[in-house]
């Protein structure tokens, strides 16, 4: 639950009903299917079982096998089938059971889903949503915890959405299903059981817009830029940093493509310092792109280099070691502490023989 959601809980009267993120996504699918008969849901175990995370619970029963159905176990087949269904006029919402299980479908996603509008000069668009439960923190074994967002964000033609709150998981999914272009909708597994209210977004006439980051917490000293599962980590770090006297702003990107340069850069211009927090391995990741863009656009406002707090550059570790891999509050605080709050030289990256020798 986010700080914002918590504040609403206190203010609202009577208290709003809380739902889990998986429940909110289920509701979004149902509402979209009710609103548009062309919306269909398919994938592995999404029918009778309701998905391994129960995200599609009861949808097949309530909407029928034609609208929500199980497919053979083949991810390239599922995505390719969705391409054809979209060409025939449907709006498929498909599930890749886990992040790493989507890799067999990568050719279909990169060569067809992402490019069809471009290849056909706009004559064929593919309104497909590819839902991918992603990232770790749930004690999952190998191949179940990858942060695969960079592969998709690096592929022109795909929109990449990473909700961090229950409210956004509903609103951004509705927007994704309405979008005329393909969307990779990445659901942070560890937040499936987080709770929040979706009453305000159910009542709203518009869903959350893509490319609009949200300032989840205001601050004046440093900006934390995060997305998906890392937003909660950033918020906790911001709370902890308060005790050390740092006022921390937290920007939740919400969508990686399109990216909201404006909001994050405006925040950094105000605070003068920036740390990017991502759970994915850091090398050549989304955080690297964000750091580059912030320094390109706000160099003269920066008092310190933009730092990254990311997962280690290792294959996702076994459950007993994942806590060492995942960025946590301590690592974020350490990074904040390195943001040149005094006039001391940062010797971290100097050659070892010149350390301490600088004048």
Partner 1 sequence: MPTPLEAASLTTDTSTALAQTASTDRSFARGLMPASMPVQFLDDLGHRVQVFNDDYPEPSSQQLVAAYRAMVIGRRFDIQATALAKQGRLAVYPPSRGQEACQIGSMLALSPDDWAFPTYRDSMALVTRGLDPVEILAVPHGTAHCGYDPRASRTAPQCTPLATQLVHAVGFASGEKRKGRPTVAMAFVGDGGTSEGDFHEALNFAAVFKAPVVFLVQNNKYAISVPISRQSVAPSLGYKGIGYGIASEQVDGNDAMAVLAVLNKAVAHARSGQGPVLVEAHTYRLDAHTNADDATRYRDSAEVEDWLRRDPIPRLEAWLRHKGLIDDAFVALVAHQGEAFAADVRERMAINLAVDPMSLFDNVFATPTPQLLEQRAMLEAELEAEEASR
Q: What residues make contact with partner 1 under the rule CB under 8 A?
A: 66, 71-72, 74, 76-77, 79-90, 104, 107-108, 111-112, 115-125, 156-157, 159, 180-181, 211, 257-259, 261-262
Catalytic residue among 144, 300, 323, 325: 144
Least CB distance to partner 1 at residue 20 (A):
32
| Minimum distance of partner 1 from residue 260's CB (angstroms) | 8
Q: How many CB atoms lie within 10 A of CB 11?
A: 9
Task: Please state, in angstroms and rounded to a whole number, the distance separating the CA atoms of residues 304 and 341.
Answer: 8
Helix (H, G, I), strand (E, B) or coil at 181: coil
Nearer to partner 1, 79 or 132 (CB): 79
Phi and psi based region of residue 209 (left: phi greater than 0; alpha: psi -120 to 50; beta: remaining): beta
In the block, residue with structure tokens 């989840």: 216
3-class DSSP state of 187: strand
Q: Which is nearer to partner 1, 40 or 55 (CB)?
A: 40
Question: Nearest approach, Cβ of 293 to partner 1 (angstroms)?
Answer: 9
Q: Please say if 154 is a catalytic residue.
A: no
Q: Is 125 exposed, middle or buried (0-12, 13-18, 19+ CB in 10 A)?
A: middle
Smallest gap, in angstroms, from Cβ of residue 104 to partner 1?
7
**Residue 334: partners with Cβ closer than 8 Å, 6 or more residues away:** none
Which CB sits closer to partner 1, 109 or 135?
Answer: 109
Pairing of strands 248-252, 214-217: antiparallel
Tokens of 100: 């790493």
For partner 1, the closer of residues 81 and 341 by Cβ is: 81
Nearer to partner 1 by Cβ, of 242 and 296: the residue is 296
Q: How far is the CB of 83 from partner 1 (least distance, A)?
A: 5
CA distance 83 to 126: 7
Q: Annotated active-site positions, please?
A: 144
């Amino acid at each position: 639950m986010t700080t914002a959601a918590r504040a609403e809980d206190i203010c609202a009267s009577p208290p709003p009903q809380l739902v889990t993120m998986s429940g909110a996504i289920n509701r979004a699918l149902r509402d979209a299917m009710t609103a548009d008969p062309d919306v269909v849901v398919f994938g592995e175990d999404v029918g009778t079982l309701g998905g391994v995370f129960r995200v599609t619970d009861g949808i097949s029963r309530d909407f029928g096998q034609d609208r929500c159905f199980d497919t053979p176990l083949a991810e390239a087949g599922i995505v390719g089938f969705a391409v054809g269904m979209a060409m025939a006029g449907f709006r498929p919402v498909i599930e890749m059971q886990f992040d790493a299980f989507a890799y067999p479908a990568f050719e279909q996603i990169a060569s067809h889903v992402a490019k069809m509008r471009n290849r056909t000069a706009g004559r064929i668009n593919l309104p497909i949503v590819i839902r991918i439960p992603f990232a770790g923190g749930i004690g999952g074994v190998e191949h179940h915890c990858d942060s695969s967002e960079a592969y998709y964000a690096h592929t022109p033609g795909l929109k990449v959405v990473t909700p961090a709150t229950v409210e956004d998981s509903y609103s951004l999914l509705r927007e994704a299903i309405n979008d005329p272009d393909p969307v990779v909708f990445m659901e942070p597994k560890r937040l499936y059981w987080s709770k929040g209210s979706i009453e305000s977004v159910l009542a709203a006439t518009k869903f959350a817009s893509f490319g609009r980051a949200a300032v989840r917490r205001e601050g004046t000293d440093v900006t934390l830029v995060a997305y998906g599962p890392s937003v909660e980590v950033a918020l906790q770090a911001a709370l902890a940093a308060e005790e050390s006297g740092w006022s921390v702003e937290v920007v939740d990107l919400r969508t990686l493509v399109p990216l909201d340069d404006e909001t994050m850069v405006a925040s950094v211009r105000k605070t003068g310092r920036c740390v990017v927090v991502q759970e994915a391995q850091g090398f050549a990741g989304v955080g690297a792109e964000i750091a580059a863009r912030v320094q390109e656009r706000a160099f003269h406002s920066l008092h310190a280099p933009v730092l990254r707090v990311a997962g280690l550059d290792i294959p996702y570790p076994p459950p007993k070691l994942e806590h060492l891999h995942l960025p946590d509050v301590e690592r974020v605080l350490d990074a904040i502490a390195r943001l040149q709050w005094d006039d001391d030289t940062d010797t971290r990256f100097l050659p070892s023989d010149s350390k301490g020798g600088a004048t």
